[in-house]
Amino acid sequence: MSDPELEIRGILLNQEDTGENFSRLIVFTSHGLRRCLLRKVRKLSSVSPPDLFDEVEITLQIPSNQGLPFIKEYQVLEKRMSLAFDRSRFESACFLARFYIDNGEHLLDSSGFSRILQNALDALVDEGFPPTVLVKSLFLFAREEGLPVKESWLSGLPVESARQAIYVLNQPVKESGNLNKYVPQLFESLCQWLRSDTELRC
């Protein structure tokens, strides 16, 4: 009797070698983080392995011994290769990937968090200002998690900083460019609040 199969769809956040024959992938899906093993291809193939931040659809074989599932087949649905050509956007995407890996293990309902991640990466691909993308993403993540980010962090900002933050949070990324110089400070402030007042790792 063959092992059961499971189909997942999500965004590839990390991949690392686990030996000569396999790579371990971490994918964030609407059902949370999934770790799985991909067999390395030794011969030339028309199908290239997925890259970081690709949207993928994967068929997993679930082993009976409770180990990591193996990838039986996969399809890349959307590539985000342009992120690799701009250092700031790539580093911001990597920050989001690490944030989701560190904080996405025990989310109760991951569908909302999945949309936040997808929208953030799409905004970076669309050449949105990286610090603005990060501020909006972390704020939405904290709110989705039920944390008092509006009542505590936003309300605790100085009046002018709060005005800037509200404008940035309520506008599409590319329409708040006039405040770009203030956003990195808002990002640092939000990260500090997450580290000091919540259990999220930032």
Choose among 23, 25, 42, 43: nearest CA to 34. Answer: 25
Q: What is the pLDDT, as a whole number, of residue 1?
A: 43
Q: Domain extents for the chain?
A: 5-78, 82-197
Amino acid in position 75? Q
Distance (Å, whole) CA 128 – CA 121: 10
Residue 173 has what DSSP assignment? G
Average pLDDT score over residue span 157-170: 98
Token output for 176:
């708040």
Q: What is the CATH number of domain 5-78?
A: 2.40.50.140
Q: What is the pLDDT, as a whole number, of residue 42?
A: 67
Q: Looking at 48-110, list the stretches that DSSP marks H as alpha helix, in order from N- to C-terminal side.
A: 87-103
Q: What is the pLDDT, as a whole number, of residue 153?
A: 98
Q: Is the pLDDT assigned to residue 97 strictly greater than 80?
A: yes
Taking residue 7's Cβ as centre, other Cβ atoms within 10 Å add up to 10
Average pLDDT score over residue span 118-129: 98
Q: What is the pLDDT, as a whole number, of residue 20?
A: 82
Distance (Å, whole) CA 105 – CA 130: 25
Least confident residue range of 60-64, 124-128, 147-151: 60-64
